[in-house]
Amino acid sequence: MQEKDIYWLSNNLPPFKEIELRGEADYYGISHIIAAQIKRKLPPKSLATWTHGWLFPEEIISPSQLIFYDGFFKTHLVANQSQVESLKSFGINNAVAVGMPFIYLDKPKVTRKENSLLVMPPHSLPYTEYQWDQKTYAEEISKLKVDFSIIVACVHSSCVEKGYWVKEFENVGIPCITGASINDRNALLRMQTIFSSFDYMTTNTLGSHIAYASYCGCKVSLFGKYQPFTKEDGKHDPYYIKNPELLDLWVRLTEESYIREQLPHLFVHPTEARPMIDWGSEMLGLQYKKSPTQIAKLLGWFYIDQLKYYCKFLINYFERPNVTQRVLKGIAKKLKRKE
């Protein structure tokens, strides 16, 4: 008999707390997590980028795969030393291997539901549209009810807003929960809580959730009609519009035949999946994890770094010809009034 009540999960999930996004180090609340660990009420503006997404396989053909922002970022935090070396090959020498943000939380103390299955379908973004066969995948998953005590689908917040997945899963009697939101202070804690609450996780697409779930102790599988990434999927994505060569690369790297070559052990029936905690830890760069104080320093939070940043910002700001002209005109007007 399939359970449908998910209070045992929903009651453990942290509330949504909206935060301001000033850079990549704020995404999913990681800067707030580090700030709390070093006893700071709020995080200062970070002076470093910090890569969130799991890159697999790591075929780096452009620094844009690891660095999404230009500007006053004095340091680039990446998952592992291989990524540091890749950036060096492009002449970028200020990268540091620290692991992915996901590993910087203390694992939540929750009870893993025996013989439970979490389903993670592909997700959209606010500016993307997809033509997934949602009905077929939901029906494929519904056939697994005889194998598990409960099945729950985790749907990305953007998909919930667009009306993707929820109706299809609920039509076959599978309850849904909302996954991470980029502007949620508790997003990473939410996802760790979810992954730590299930025995198994299955998906039909490549993504960071595979490494995250493995790290948290889920037995992970790729099952059902596989969903690759297509050029059509990325045509409205600002990132791929700016980096069209990376769209071609990602389409190739997410093809089912290629992923089957790289990760053959994942293509099993969900009941046959096995724990891969060590593998997940390696994928997330656990061996490169730093202390909270070290991360705060790399993010440029200490007084002297913040002072240097704002001084440099003001100098650059006033060096702009139009700014200087406006300031001088303003001063001239004030002097004229005094006359």
pLDDT 10s digits, 149-182: 999 999 998 888 888 899 999 999 999 999 999 9
Say how far apart CA 232 and CA 239 lie, in whole Å.
14
Q: For residue 335, what pLDDT band results from cuts at 50, 70 and 90? A: very low
The arithmetic mean of pLDDT across residues 88-112, rounded, is 95
CATH number at residue 220: 3.40.50
In this prediction, residue 338 carries a pLDDT of: 44
What's the domain count of the chain?
2
Closest CA to 180 of 162, 194, 167: 194
The answer on 249 and 133 residing in a single domain is yes
pLDDT greater than 80 at residue 331: no
Say how far apart CA 115 and CA 169 lie, in whole Å.
19
Q: For residue 339, what pLDDT band results from cuts at 50, 70 and 90? A: very low
pLDDT greater than 80 at residue 318: no
The answer on 333 and 242 residing in a single domain is no
pLDDT greater than 70 at residue 253: yes
The answer on 314 and 197 residing in a single domain is no
pLDDT greater than 90 at residue 85: yes
In a domain, 246, yes or no: yes
pLDDT greater than 90 at residue 307: no
Specify which of 46-50, 51-55, 232-236, 274-278 reaches the highest per-range mean pLDDT.
274-278
Instruction: Name the more confident of 239 and 282.
Output: 282
Q: Which residue type sits at 80? A: N
The answer on 317 and 253 residing in a single domain is no
Say how far apart CA 123 and CA 155 lie, in whole Å.
7
Question: Is the pTM value of this prediction over 0.95?
Answer: no
The answer on 322 and 250 residing in a single domain is no
120, with CB counted inside 10 A (0-12, 13-18, 19+), is buried
The arithmetic mean of pLDDT across residues 134-154, rounded, is 96
Residue span of the structural domain in which 131 resides: 7-14+107-276
Tens digit of each residue's pLDDT (9 = 90 or more) over 168-223: 999 999 999 999 999 999 999 999 999 999 999 999 999 999 999 999 999 999 99
Closest CA to 176 of 200, 159, 199: 159
pLDDT greater than 80 at residue 264: yes
The answer on 141 and 192 residing in a single domain is yes
The answer on 235 and 185 residing in a single domain is yes
The answer on 265 and 321 residing in a single domain is no
Closest CA to 58 of 90, 86, 77: 86
The answer on 328 and 198 residing in a single domain is no
The arithmetic mean of pLDDT across residues 243-253, rounded, is 91
Tens digit of each residue's pLDDT (9 = 90 or more) over 32-66: 999 999 999 999 999 999 999 999 888 899 999 99
Lowest mean pLDDT among 53-57, 71-75, 119-123, 294-298: 71-75
Tell which of 261, 276, 291 closes a domain. 276
Q: For residue 4, what pLDDT band results from cuts at 50, 70 and 90? A: low
The answer on 308 and 252 residing in a single domain is no
The answer on 309 and 199 residing in a single domain is no
